[in-house]
């Protein structure tokens, strides 16, 4: 099925993972446009912040390597706002599919709430597109050359399944940083991933944020556990909706 796909991320327009994912979508036969933050915007969730005055957002055309003829835009905004703008025709016809990534680092557990990569996908859902967030588990000590193409190869196995899902569907994919990996396993969200952020007081008027390894056993069949064991994981996410179980 021919689809119009927007490729974005939160690592910025210069990310190798972004280019790899865009190439994968082109090779799949989709019509591709790239729009990504001009600078890194990790941890921005679905924020609508932009580096502009009076509601004006700077957009610069770019040429990306090995993507001749693919429109690419560096946008002075967070990925959530980029997806919202795309849904309203800022980069041509609104996308049917949003591919967000490939993120430099895993996005697992309930902490995906904070991820700009996942936030872009959830924003796509609210605006009627199907979306796939793709992340590569590079760990706390990344290798010099992450296996971007391996992550894209796994993502490509989900492209047609994603296109066949109802509008507004969101999938979150995490892939181990290995040259060869298996097929993705369906997984639930862990309470926390293998790594979590910890806020520390560093003195008067200052706090610091550090990444720490979580001790203890991870829940079986959770995304964090399966990914730690070397399996790609895929989780269907639901965007913002009301909770009918809460009585007020």
Give domain status of residue 56, yes or no: yes
Beta bridge partners of 206: 203
Give domain status of residue 206, yes or no: no
Domain that holds residue 148: 4-190+219-237
- Segments of 12-71 assigned E as strands: 31-37, 59-62
Give domain status of residue 152, yes or no: yes
The pLDDT of 183-192, averaged and rounded, is 90
Per-residue pLDDT, 85: 96
The pLDDT of 216-238, averaged and rounded, is 91
CATH of the domain at 67: 3.40.1210.10
Is the model's pLDDT at 240 over the cut of 90? no
Whether 26 contacts 66, CB under 8 Å = no
Q: How far is CA 201 from the centre of its chain?
A: 30
Per-residue pLDDT, 31: 98
Per-residue pLDDT, 194: 62
Is the model's pLDDT at 213 over the cut of 70? no
Give domain status of residue 200, yes or no: no
Give domain status of residue 91, yes or no: yes
Per-residue pLDDT, 214: 64
Q: What are the tokens at 27?
A: 């090779």
Beta bridge partners of 196: 212
Give domain status of residue 81, yes or no: yes
> Considering only 80-84, 96-100, 149-153, 204-208, which range has the smallest mean pLDDT?
204-208
The average confidence (pLDDT) of the chain is 90
Whether 98 contacts 5, CB under 8 Å = yes
The pLDDT of 55-65, averaged and rounded, is 92
Residue 200's pLDDT band, with cuts at 50, 70 and 90, is: confident
Give domain status of residue 197, yes or no: no
CA end-to-end span of the chain: 45
**Alpha-carbon gap, residue 41 to 10, rounded angstroms:** 5
- Counting Cβ atoms within 10 Å, is residue 214 exposed (0-12), middle (13-18) or buried (19+)? middle
**Alpha-carbon gap, residue 170 to 12, rounded angstroms:** 21
Residue 63 backbone dihedrals phi, psi, to 5 degrees: -110, 120
Is the model's pLDDT at 174 over the cut of 80? yes
> Considering only 17-26, 27-36, 186-195, 233-242, which range has the smallest mean pLDDT?
186-195
pTM, two decimal places: 0.91
pLDDT in tens, 104-128: 999 999 989 989 999 999 999 999 9
Which DSSP symbol is given to 21?
Answer: H
Q: What are the tokens at 77?
A: 């905004």
Per-residue pLDDT, 53: 64
Per-residue pLDDT, 40: 80
Is the model's pLDDT at 88 over the cut of 90? yes
Count of structural domains, the chain: 1
**Alpha-carbon gap, residue 155 to 78, rounded angstroms:** 23
- Counting Cβ atoms within 10 Å, is residue 171 exposed (0-12), middle (13-18) or buried (19+)? buried
* Helical H segments across 72-229, by residue range: 79-87, 116-126, 148-156, 159-164, 223-228
**Alpha-carbon gap, residue 4 to 156, rounded angstroms:** 15
Give domain status of residue 244, yes or no: no
């Amino acid at each position: 099925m021919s689809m119009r796909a927007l490729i974005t991320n939160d690592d910025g327009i210069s990310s190798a993972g972004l280019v790899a994912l865009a190439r994968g979508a082109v090779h799949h036969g989709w019509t591709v446009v790239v729009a990504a933050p001009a600078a890194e915007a990790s941890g921005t969730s679905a924020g609508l912040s932009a580096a502009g005055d009076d509601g004006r957002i700077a957009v610069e055309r770019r040429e990306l390597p090995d993507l001749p003829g693919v429109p690419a835009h560096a946008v002075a905004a967070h990925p959530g706002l980029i997806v919202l703008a795309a849904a309203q025709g800022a980069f041509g016809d609104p996308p049917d599919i949003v591919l967000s990534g490939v993120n430099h680092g895993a996005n697992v557990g309930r902490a995906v709430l904070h991820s700009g990569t996942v936030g872009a996908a959830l924003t796509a859902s609210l605006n009627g597109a199907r979306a796939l967030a793709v992340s590569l588990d590079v760990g706390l000590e990344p290798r010099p050359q992450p296996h971007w193409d391996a992550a894209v190869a796994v993502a490509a196995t989900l492209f047609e399944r994603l296109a066949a899902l109802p509008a507004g569907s969101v999938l979150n994919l995490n892939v181990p940083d290995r040259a060869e990996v298996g097929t993705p396993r369906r997984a639930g969200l862990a309470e926390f991933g293998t790594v979590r952020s910890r806020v520390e007081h560093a003195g008067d008027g200052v706090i610091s944020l550090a990444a720490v390894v979580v001790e203890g056993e991870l829940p079986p069949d959770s995304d964090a556990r399966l990914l730690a064991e070397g399996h790609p994981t895929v989780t269907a996410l639901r965007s913002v909706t009301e909770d009918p179980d809460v009585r007020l």
